[in-house]
Amino acid sequence: MTASLWIIATGILAAAACGLLGSFLVLRKTSMLGDAISHAVLPGIALAFLISGSRNPIPMLIGAGALGLITAFCTETLHRVGRLQQDASIGVTFTWLFALGVILISMYAGQVDLDQECVLYGEIAYVPWDVWLWNGLDMGPRAIWVLGATFLIDLVFVLTCYKELKLTTFDPQLAESLGISTRLFHYLLMAAVSLTTVAAFESVGAILVVAMLIAPAAAAYLLTDRLSRMLVLAMIIGAASAVTGYLLASWLDASIAGAMATMSGIFFALSFFLAPRHGLLPKHFARLSTK
């Protein structure tokens, strides 16, 4: 019983951290950059494994964080210097880095306890057994600590830079004229996204991080016009997906992370059809009643 509580708690923490940052990705039309970063951290994780020789989270965070920033930098450089359109520069960058990661892993397959399946869809079910021992003391699952710290960092970042993030998201020109660097906040946001992706990859996997980043934020975007409410709603919807996803998974005897992503999709679908002002059905009825 406690095991399932730990799993749900991990899911909620991951979903809350992702929902917070994902809202900005969706509003800035850079959702796919989140997808790209979540794939491109693979070589960083592989290199950190090879160099440190362990699953120690600190080198992994550094390696993956660096790769996340390299992804954001390469994408922007290809777009600005290489004059390549945005979507293609994202696509070229992350596929190349992911391929590099897969090659690194297969080259050192014997030395690395890591395969691409684990990176792609994680295994949240093992979370309760991977405990953090501190001075022989059982401190609880390590993922809780890692994700909890990540969520706190994201929260502090968003709260302290709320005004700047809001302005650079909705009106970059005005932000620039007020002396707020849009590029600085772009990179800060990307750093936070990379950090969160890495923290979450072990438990929920790279692609399901994308679901957590985008689906709750997109659902929240249809429910409100205010940024602060959108952030809170995205976190709530993400947490709800985590809880219901766990139940769905135990009912189907299937991947918990997969079920959580499925549930986030279902919550988006609900919001897409039923959201009071921007939903499909209310809009449809409004059109009927005006006729």
113 binds another protein (CB under 8 A): no
Please list, in sequence order, all residues whose beta carbon lies within 8 angstroms of the beta carbon of residue 166, skipping any fewer than 6 positions away: 227
214 binds another protein (CB under 8 A): yes
Least distance to another protein, CB of residue 112, Å: 13
DSSP letter at 279 equals: S
| List 56, 106, 111, 181, residue binding another protein (CB under 8 A) | 106
Other beta carbons less than 10 A from residue 128's beta carbon: 19
| List 3, 5, 184, 254, residue binding another protein (CB under 8 A) | 254
- State which residue, 14 or 59, has the beta carbon closest to another protein: 14
Q: Which stretch binds another protein (CB under 8 A): 8-16, 51-59, 145-153, 249-257?
A: 249-257
Please list, in sequence order, all residues whose beta carbon lies within 8 angstroms of the beta carbon of residue 30, skipping any fewer than 6 positions away: none
How is residue 137 written in tokens? 């003391």
Near another protein in 46-105, by CB under 8 A:
78, 81-88, 90-92, 95-96, 98-100, 102-103
| List 6, 121, 151, 185, residue binding another protein (CB under 8 A) | 121
How is residue 138 written in tokens? 């059982």
Other beta carbons less than 10 A from residue 165's beta carbon: 24
How is residue 274 written in tokens? 């039923």
- State which residue, 18 or 57, has the beta carbon closest to another protein: 18
257 binds another protein (CB under 8 A): yes
Near another protein in 264-283, by CB under 8 A:
264-265, 268, 272, 278, 280
Least distance to another protein, CB of residue 225, Å: 10
- State which residue, 83 or 226, has the beta carbon closest to another protein: 83
How is residue 152 written in tokens? 């706190």
Query: Which of 120, 115, 116, 123 lies closest to 255, judged by CA?
Result: 123
Give the H/E segment covering residue 193.
helix 182-204
Q: Do 90 and 36 meet the contact criterion of CB atoms below 8 Å apart?
A: yes
| List 9, 221, 231, 233, residue binding another protein (CB under 8 A) | 221
- State which residue, 109 or 174, has the beta carbon closest to another protein: 109
Least distance to another protein, CB of residue 282, Å: 12
| List 29, 163, 183, 229, residue binding another protein (CB under 8 A) | 29
At position 110, the amino acid (one-letter code) is G
Other beta carbons less than 10 A from residue 113's beta carbon: 10
Decide: helix, strand or coil at residue 162. Answer: helix
Q: How many residues bind another protein (CB under 8 A)?
A: 65
- State which residue, 59 or 271, has the beta carbon closest to another protein: 271
> End-to-end CA distance of the chain, in Å?
56
Query: Which of 91, 131, 120 lies closest to 10, judged by CA?
Result: 131
Residue with tokens 């590099």: 100
Which residues form the interface with another protein (CB under 8 A)? 25-26, 29-32, 34-35, 39, 78, 81-88, 90-92, 95-96, 98-100, 102-103, 106-107, 109, 116-117, 120-121, 205, 207-208, 210-211, 213-215, 217-218, 221-222, 248-249, 252-255, 257-262, 264-265, 268, 272, 278, 280
